[in-house]
């Protein structure tokens, strides 16, 4: 008897998830084409306008699209994918095997991280080629990018898993999640410059991770002079880490407690 290790199983689950992801056209289009198309579209419409001295809207928007991309992959796409898999008894089938729940979650998280890296690389390349965005060169900036990226993906994934258990089925999920994410995108400084969002909506946005994820990415991809143009006059790295961290912890507990392998009527 040679029981496979937890790590071996988590790695193999990641492999399966990646295979399935890259074979699913709908997912590929949503995750890869959607942010690039939006980037190109907004770039074409507002690209020339300046958000602040020396910062074009396209530059500002790139940081927002990176944040949105992370949320699309980790939260929306994952939650819908889980809801579909639950609907189709795919999760139930897995529940009938020795697969440890945590290894299953780890596979989903690793998949979201890897897919996001590819997606962000594509966005950054587009930004550099088409919109004169300069890639940060300091180790500091990349360190910031790394923790913002990891915390943002982590929070998105655990919340995606948690929310998936609220969705009765995949079709309902799409109808519920799309408006929610769109709303967050509009008020969190993705499609609209955050300082131009009415302050009561800024306060709403500040509760959720997307605003902090976008701001964190701006601190990486916008010139340091832009910091004063932020609403608070600061990149707020401390609060960013704390708020996304709290969402990650709360989301993890919520995900573990609410997770269902089977359809709600099936228990």
User: Which positions lie near another protein, rule CB under 8 A?
Assistant: 1-4, 8-9, 12, 15-16, 19-20, 23-24, 84-85, 88-90, 92-93, 95-100, 262, 266-267
Nearer to another protein, 232 or 258 (CB): 258
Q: How far is the CB of 254 from another protein (least distance, A)?
A: 22
Q: How far is the CB of 104 from another protein (least distance, A)?
A: 10
Q: How far is the CB of 93 from another protein (least distance, A)?
A: 6
Nearer to another protein, 13 or 218 (CB): 13
Q: How far is the CB of 84 from another protein (least distance, A)?
A: 7
Task: DSSP for the chain, please give it.
Answer: --PPPHHHHHHHHHHHHHHHHHH-HHHHIIIIIHHHHHHHHHHHHHTTSEEETTEEHHHHHHHHHHHHHHHIIIIIIHHHHHHHHHHTTHHHHHHTSS--HHHHHHHHHHHHHHHHHHHHHHHHHHHHHHH-PPPP-SHHHHHHHHHHHHHHHHHHHHHHHHHHTT-SSHHHHHHHHHHHHHHHHHHTTSSS-GGGS-HHHHHHHTTSHHHHHHHHHHHHHS-GGGGGGSTTSS--HHHHHHHHHHHHHHHHHHHHHH--SS-TT--
């Amino acid at each position: 008897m040679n029981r496979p290790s937890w790590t071996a199983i988590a790695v193999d689950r990641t492999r399966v998830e990646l295979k399935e992801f890259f074979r699913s056209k709908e997912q590929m289009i949503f995750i890869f084409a959607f942010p690039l198309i939006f980037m190109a579209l907004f770039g074409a419409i507002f690209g020339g306008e300046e958000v602040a001295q020396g910062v074009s809207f396209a530059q500002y928007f790139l940081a927002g699209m990176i944040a949105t991309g992370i949320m699309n992959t980790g939260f929306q796409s994952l939650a819908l994918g889980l809801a579909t898999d639950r609907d189709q008894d795919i999760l139930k089938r897995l529940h009938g095997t020795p697969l440890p729940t945590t290894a299953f979650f780890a596979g989903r998280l690793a998949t979201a991280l890897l897919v996001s890296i590819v997606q962000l690389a594509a966005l950054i390349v587009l930004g550099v080629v088409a919109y004169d965005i300069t890639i940060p060169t300091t180790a500091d900036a990349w360190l910031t990018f790394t923790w913002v990226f990891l915390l943002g993906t982590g929070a998105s994934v655990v919340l995606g898993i948690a929310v998936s258990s609220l969705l009765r089925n995949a079709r309902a999920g799409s109808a519920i999640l799309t408006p929610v994410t769109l709303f967050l995108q509009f008020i969190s400084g993705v499609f609209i410059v955050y300082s131009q969002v009415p302050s009561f909506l800024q306060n709403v946005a500040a509760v959720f991770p997307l605003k902090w994820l976008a701001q964190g990415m701006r601190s990486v991809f916008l010139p340091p002079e832009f910091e004063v143009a932020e609403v608070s006059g600061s990149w707020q790295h401390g609060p960013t880490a704390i708020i996304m961290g709290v969402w990650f912890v709360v989301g993890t507990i919520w995900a573990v407690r609410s997770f269902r392998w089977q359809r709600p009527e099936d228990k």
